């Protein structure tokens, strides 16, 4: 089975199966596997940044920069919601900056699907606050 076929919602499968596999590709830092879930006309936006990355090659390049810019990046799932045309993934992102400082952020991704493929990813990040004592 090609990675493209594996990345679509299979008959009898669900948006949730796709979301779990998509998130696993992110935790594997595998840009090719991540992009296998995306349509050719995909787009990506990190909110707080006005730039919208458009097209599979441009989005893949930015995802690669995002992953390499935060060594050891990991996404710990918190919650997952959705339907056949979208899903929302809440997670806690942990990583290390290139100069060795730990990073913890709360992340919400809103993913729009069309024909079982990702056509838009909107990412919302906030710096996690330390727990109250």
We report the CATH number of the domain holding residue 22 as 3.10.450.50
pLDDT tens digits, residue range 77-98? 999 999 999 999 999 999 998 8
For the residues 42-50, what does the mean pLDDT come to? 93
118: containing domain: 3-127
Backbone φ, ψ for residue 108 (5° rounding) = -125, 125
Listed in sequence order, the DSSP H helices in the chain are: 3-7, 15-27, 31-35, 56-69
**Which three-class secondary structure state does DSSP give residue 12?**
coil
pLDDT confidence of 124, banded at 50, 70, 90? very high
Task: Establish if 16 belongs to a structural domain.
Answer: yes
Per the domain annotation, does 132 fall within a domain? no
Per the structure, the count of domains in the chain is 1
Q: Is residue 133 part of a domain?
A: no
Which comes out higher in pLDDT, residue 13 or 87?
87
The answer to whether residue 56 sits within a structural domain is yes
Output the CA torsion sign for 36, 123, 89, 128.
Answer: positive
State how far the Cα of 33 lies from the Cα of 31, in Å rounded to an integer.
5
pTM comes to: 0.85
């Amino acid at each position: 089975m090609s990675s493209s076929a594996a990345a679509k919602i299979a008959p009898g499968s669900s948006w949730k199966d796709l979301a779990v596999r998509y998130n696993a590709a992110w935790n594997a830092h595998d840009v090719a596997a991540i992009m296998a879930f995306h349509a050719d006309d995909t787009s990506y936006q990190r909110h707080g940044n006005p730039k919208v990355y458009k097209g599979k090659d441009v989005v893949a390049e930015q995802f690669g920069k995002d992953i390499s810019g935060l060594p050891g990046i990991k996404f710990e799932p918190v919650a997952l919601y959705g339907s056949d045309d979208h899903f929302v993934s809440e997670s806690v992102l942990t990583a290390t900056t290139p100069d060795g400082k730990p990073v913890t952020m709360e992340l919400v991704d809103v993913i729009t699907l069309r024909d079982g493929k990702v056509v838009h990813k909107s990412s919302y990040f906030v710096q996690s606050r330390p727990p109250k004592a």
